[in-house]
């Protein structure tokens, strides 16, 4: 026994020495990033939790507009569009039409409005049974968010501060994964040293004071880690600066989402077909007049013969004479149904199609990631998980600040900074890796890069 003890002690000492630089380094980075970035993460988490409830709130608040009495009788889609146009008092061509194909739902006819903001349109809600107008609301984006959800969405996205406000959410998403990574690094090192999971994978019931808070912060971070990485990655795809770089990367690697053509080919048959309508052109009628003559019912029927099977559909009329009509599925819940077709309405022909089953793997993952982030992929269950996840992340931030306060010096209102890492204790390869990694991340995530420089400057002065 005594002969074997010294080698074991030597091995333990060597293991401790190998971790003396990594744990303090990870702790200092986790501490400073947490202290400075946590307020932005907290706001994003709370507003995100609120947004998770928005779809259900929308159904309650706007039930008059979204629903209609179930009836076996339905008027044509063309008649529904005309009812919306009559309500507006002008023969305006819609930007898009979302038919109420499911029982008890209304048809949404959406029009451009110069008085509205970017990505906003005016929607008239029609009862498919009789053409009665059920409501008139402003809708936002491809999700068709109604005013309440739009307000919450903008709060989460930019704090209602416009483009400048988007920096807050990009800052939170840029640092969230890194804070989580260094937090997990500390957990792994501590677990290897202590050989205990108590207080790491689950909170300790014997700890007191600071250690109680640390136990809850650590265990919650472990269980939420996967979600932290996921929401950081998907959140960055919507960001302003990093999102642009991600889009460029997807384009370079061919990971873009396939789409159908928006323009008609100048084929002889197509030209002859348009010649039959020469009378309209000779009288100076606009493309809007010609588009109005096309049957929405006929275009939808063509699409349904090809690949449009969902009851959630968007019909986009041709933007001009050389454009196609687009019909696409809009079912973001699982199983995902986002097939689409391009239609030459004049010739009643489908000229292009895009099927989700043929999407590249990266495009499918992007679609599922976005829908999971927005809470639409798995419906109510998805939304409840997002809500409680947001509360969990908020608790992480609050526990982090509470620990800082608990460790404050006697007589001080604030906590103290973490001790500096001994530069000589950190191997050269680690500094090189950190330097190159920071440089590459700073180029890919500009908001991260700028904030990192500011953080390093602050660290140098403390």
Question: Positive or negative, the Cα torsion across 457, 460, 461, 462?
Answer: positive
Q: What is the dihedral of CA 206, 210, 211, 214, to 10 degrees?
A: 130
Q: Tens digits of per-residue pLDDT, 281-292? A: 333 444 455 455
Average pLDDT, the chain: 88
Pairing of strands 325-329, 313-316: antiparallel
Give the C-alpha separation, 408 to 413, whole Å. Answer: 7
- Split at pLDDT 50, 70, 90, the class of 20 is confident
State phi, psi for 16 to the nearest 5 degrees: -65, -45
pLDDT for the residue 265? 73
pTM of the shown model: 0.87
- Map out the domains of the chain with their CATH numbers: 21-54+169-251+382-461 (no CATH), 63-145 (3.10.450), 268-358 (no CATH)
Beta bridge partners of 133: 126
Rounded average pLDDT over 190-206? 80
3-state SS assignment for residue 458 = helix
Distance CA 408, CA 273 (A): 80
Give pLDDT, residue 276: 38
User: Are the beta carbons of 350 and 366 closer than 8 angstroms?
Assistant: no
| DSSP letters for 257-317 | PP---SB----HHHHHHHHTTHHHHHTT--HHHHHHHS-HHHHHHHHHHHT---S-EEEE-
What confidence category does residue 418 fall into, taking pLDDT thresholds of 50, 70 and 90? low
When mean pLDDT is compared across 9-13, 208-212, 411-415, the lowest value belongs to: 9-13
**For residue 246, how far is the Cα from the chain centroid?**
14
């Amino acid at each position: 026994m005594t002969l074997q003890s010294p080698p074991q002690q030597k091995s333990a000492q060597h293991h401790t020495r190998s971790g003396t630089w990594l744990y303090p380094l990870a702790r200092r980075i986790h501490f400073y990033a947490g202290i400075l970035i946590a307020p932005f993460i907290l706001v994003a988490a709370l507003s995100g939790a609120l947004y998770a409830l928005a779809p259900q709130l929308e159904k309650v608040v706007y039930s008059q507009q979204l629903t209609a009495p179930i009836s076996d009788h339905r008027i044509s889609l063309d008649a529904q569009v005309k009812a919306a146009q009559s309500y507006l008092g002008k023969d305006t061509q819609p930007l898009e039409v979302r038919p109420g194909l499911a029982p008890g739902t209304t048809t949404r006819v959406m029009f451009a409005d110069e008085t509205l903001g970017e990505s906003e349109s005016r929607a008239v809600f029609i009862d498919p049974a009789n053409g009665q107008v059920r409501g008139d609301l402003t809708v936002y984006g491809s999700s068709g968010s109604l005013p309440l959800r739009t307000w919450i969405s903008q709060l989460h996205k930019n704090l209602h501060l416009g483009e400048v406000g988007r920096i807050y959410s990009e800052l939170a998403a840029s640092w969230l994964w890194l804070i989580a990574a260094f937090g997990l690094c500390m957990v792994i090192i501590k677990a290897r040293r202590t050989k205990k999971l108590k207080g790491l994978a689950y909170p300790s019931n014997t700890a007191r004071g600071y250690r109680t808070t640390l136990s809850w912060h650590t265990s919650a971070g472990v269980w939420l880690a996967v979600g932290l990485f996921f929401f950081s990655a998907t959140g960055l795809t919507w960001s302003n600066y990093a999102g642009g770089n991600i889009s460029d990367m997807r384009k370079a690697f061919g990971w873009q989402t396939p789409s159908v053509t928006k323009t008609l080919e100048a084929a002889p048959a197509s030209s002859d077909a348009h010649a039959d309508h020469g009378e309209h052109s000779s009288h100076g009628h606009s493309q809007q007049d010609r588009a109005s003559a096309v049957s929405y019912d006929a275009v939808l029927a063509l699409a349904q013969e090809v690949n449009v099977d969902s009851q959630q559909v968007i019909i986009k009329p041709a933007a001009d004479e050389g454009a196609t009509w687009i019909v696409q599925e809009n079912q973001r819940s699982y199983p995902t149904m986002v097939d689409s077709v391009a239609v030459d309405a004049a010739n009643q022909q489908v000229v292009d199609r895009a099927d989700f089953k043929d999407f590249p793997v990266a495009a499918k993952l992007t679609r599922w990631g976005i829908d999971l982030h927005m809470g639409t992929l798995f419906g109510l269950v998805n939304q409840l998980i997002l809500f409680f996840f947001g509360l969990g992340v908020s608790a992480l931030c609050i526990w982090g600040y509470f620990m800082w306060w608990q460790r404050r010096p006697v007589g001080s209102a604030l906590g103290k900074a973490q001790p500096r890492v001994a530069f000589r204790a950190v191997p050269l390869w680690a500094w090189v890796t950190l330097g190159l990694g920071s440089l590459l991340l700073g180029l890919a995530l500009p908001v991260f890069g700028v904030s990192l420089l500011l953080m390093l400057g602050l660290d140098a002065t403390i």
